[in-house]
Amino acid sequence: MKAPKPRTALAIGAAAIGLLALARSSARDAPAATGDAPGRTARRERFGRYRVVGKTVTVAKPSRAELFDFWRDFTNLPAFMENLNAVRPLSEGRWEWEIVAPGETSVTVVTEIASERAGELIAWRSVEGSRIDTEGRVAFRDAPGGRGTQVELVVAYVPPAGQAGVAIAKLLQREPAQQARRDLRRFKALMETGEIPTSDNRIETEKA
Amino acid sequence: MRALTYHGKKDVRVDTHPDPGIVNPRDAIIKITATAICGSDLHLYDGVIPGLMAGDILGHEFMGEVVETGPGSTLKKGQRVVVPFTISCGSCFFCEKQQYSACDNSNPVEKREMSETLYGQPMSGLFGYSHMTGGYPGGQAEYVRVPFSDVGPIVIENDDLEDEKVLFLSDILPTGWMAAENAAIEGGDTVAVWGAGPVGLFAAQSAKVMNAERVIVIDHHPHRLELAKGLGCETLNFREVDVREALLEMTGGIGPDAVIDAVGMEAHGFAIDNMLDVAKQTVGIGADRASALKQALLACRKGGRVSIPGVYGGMTDKFPLGALMEKGLKIGTGQTHVQRFTHLLLGLIEEGKIDTTFLISHRLPLEEAPDGYYNFRNYQNEWTKVVLKPGT
């Protein structure tokens, strides 16, 4: 049961990309001098023209293997990723992501798996020549103290309109950092409770 | 359906809304038979809680009959249930620890970020209490949608227990009980309670059940102090005596072993960057409202316990941090983990050890709820608790 998709999805590509995450070079997520903290939390951007966003949540249940399997089937992603209409498998390990775009239309991006370790990591990237240059990576590791699994989602993308584009996307609540954070939390809720909480009092159909 | 609806500051009306339906698998729909106006609803009424919008349905103390269930609900049609005001998923880290009011999932992700900015971590979902806590439509209505209905509601199987005896399991009774628990009461203790409102009175009653030797209740409304006397408490009217001096003398120069602040303070601002400005603008009021807690910290004996069920939402100036540290006080606080206490408290009600009906001063049909709000706010001495009865 998922909350209705907002109708005001933003036009600029950055929006679309929020959920497409990234992974190309791990160097992009690990600049020096942040101690044990993830590189993306550094106070200064160090990823060139890429913007890197990410978030970690701890998911109490089910097991790490089950969480991995659910994510690995990309057709499940629209269940908790607000900006995704659908993900369809193509040949040769490629996937077609249909992303909500303004005016009831959608943008499609083709991705390929960049790397994968069963139960631990899935990384994907947009294929050469895509309208949107993005990479994503989700990592699963055991949380300390038997608290379940830490799930970390990292997305890198090239903002279509630079810093101005990022600011506009934020205003429209479609900035990739927001999207990554919210999508990941919806994933957690769906896995832990079997549903995605909403305060809607009824299922929105036509205007009742 | 008809429902008490927020229109603006001091403007609530009973309006017609679409009936709620099952949205998620674990939902249930409850037909409300009794619902109360809470003291904390008055903060909403006064327009000082951020994130409340015109059109929102209020109410977080309610009970009724199950009329519809989703496939994941454990409730059955026809059952009588009391519903906790905290919405809890039952399966996250916090719910597993029975810290239900810290549930990590019940506040929808797009709504929870407001409180995350303010507090560092997001709050859980609550019924009828602004969009900061999820924007869930409340129970001062004919029907309500209850998410995670397999976790929250307690089924009342004993038909001899009328609604008024069990309704307060939804909030104020467990809140008073947890306040007393947070005071870690030991036999022989003297406990001082600031505020003779519903939570203060129930905290006082709970402290008695937990074998406090003396409970001293502090307020200024004579009738409310009379209710405290009726529970076997001693009373102080802060308009008539120096509270700290009186408490010190009444405890032989030691001070109360535990203090409970059942007064609280409203948040006066929301955005983190304007909060300090708001606090400065309202410094007179703000300081007055924080005075109960400050007084309690100074009155408490060395090594004593401080329990804060009163609601705080923002920041405060001139906090007596030194008294807290130098006297080695322990603090317990938080929104109530209602689901942790409902079965225990239902048992105590059935055994006659706890009675909650003494508090109810007025019973009104739902349609007269706006008058209830007005009078509950403006005539606090006489209007101690309002119960609304939809369908009458």
Chain B interface, Cβ < 8 Å to A = 17-21, 23-26, 72, 87, 89-93, 96, 104-111, 125, 131, 134-137, 145, 147-148
Task: Report pLDDT for A65.
Answer: 98
Backbone angles phi, psi at A200, to 5 degrees: -60, 135
Q: What confidence score (pLDDT) does residue A37 get?
A: 82
Asked if the model's pLDDT at residue B243 lies above 80, the reply is: yes
Query: Which of B316, B333, B350 is a domain's end point?
Result: B333
CATH (domain of B364)? 3.90.180.10
Say whether pLDDT at B122 is over 90: yes
Same domain, B215 and B323: yes
List, for residues A127-173, the tens digit of each pLDDT value: 988 877 889 999 999 999 999 999 999 988 877 666 666 666 666 66
Q: Where does the pLDDT of residue A19 fall: very low under 50, low under 70, confident under 90, or very high at 90 and above?
A: very low
B176 inside domain: no
Residues B360 and B296 in one domain: no
DSSP chain A: --PPPPS---SSHHHHHTTS---S-GGGG--SSSTTS-GGGSSS--STT-EEEEEEEEE-SS-HHHHHHHHHSGGGGGGT-TTEEEEEE-STTEEEEEEE-GGG-EEEEEEEEEEEETTTEEEEEEPTT-SS-EEEEEEEEEPGGG--EEEEEEEEE--TTHHHHHHHHHHTT--HHHHHHHHHHHHHHHHHHSS-----SS---S--
**pLDDT interval class at A27 (50, 70, 90):** very low
Residue A198 falls inside a structural domain = no
Residue at which a domain ends, from B286, B313, B333 = B333
CB contact A58 to B (< 8 Å)? yes
B46 and B166 assigned to the same domain: yes
Q: Which domain holds residue B307?
A: 183-333
The C-alpha of A7 sits at a distance from chain B's nearest C-alpha, in angstroms, of: 15
Task: Assess: ipTM above 0.95.
Answer: no
Compute the average pLDDT of residues B4-16.
97
With CA atoms as reference, report the closest residue to B136 among B11, B259, B3: B3
Q: Say yes or no: B166 and B187 in one domain.
A: no
C-alpha atoms less than 13 angstroms from C-alpha of B346 in its C-beta half-sphere: 24
Tell me, yes or no, whether B209 and B124 share the same domain.
no
Domain limits for position A63: 13-32+45-193
Residues 120 through 159 of chain A touching chain B, CB cutoff 8 Å:
147-148
pLDDT digits (tens, 9 = 90+) for B135-194: 999 999 999 999 999 999 999 999 999 999 999 999 999 999 999 999 999 999 999 999
For the stretch B25-76, pLDDT in tens is 999 999 999 999 998 899 899 887 778 999 999 999 999 999 999 999 999 9
pTM of the model: 0.87
Residues B233 and B349 in one domain: no
Say if A118 falls within a structural domain: yes
The yes-or-no verdict on residue B272 having pLDDT over 80 is: no
Q: Could you tell me which chain A residue has the CA closest to the CA of B113?
A: A182
pLDDT at A13 over 80: no
In chain B, whose CA is at the least distance from the CA of A1?
B24
Same domain, B120 and B15: yes
Q: What pLDDT does residue B179 have?
A: 98
> Residue A70 maps to which CATH number?
3.30.530.20
Classify residue B272: in a domain, yes or no.
yes
As a whole number, mean pLDDT of residues B121-144 equals: 96
Which residue on chain A is closest to B29 by alpha carbon?
A201
**Which CATH number characterizes residue B288's domain?**
3.40.50.720
**Within an 8 Å CB–CB cutoff, is residue A206 touching chain B?**
no
Domains in chain A, number: 1
Domains in chain B: how many in total?
2
Orientation angle between helical segments B198-209 and B222-230, nearest 10 degrees? 20
Q: Is residue A100, in this structure, part of any structural domain at all?
A: yes
User: How many Å lie between the alpha carbon of B96 and the closest alpha carbon of chain A?
Assistant: 10
In a domain, B187, yes or no: yes
Last residue of a domain, one of B290, B312, B333: B333
C-alpha–C-alpha distance, residues B31 and A61, integer Å: 33
A79 touches chain B (CB under 8 A): no
Candidates B19, B24, B100, B117: best to mutate against A (most CBs of A within 10 A) is B24
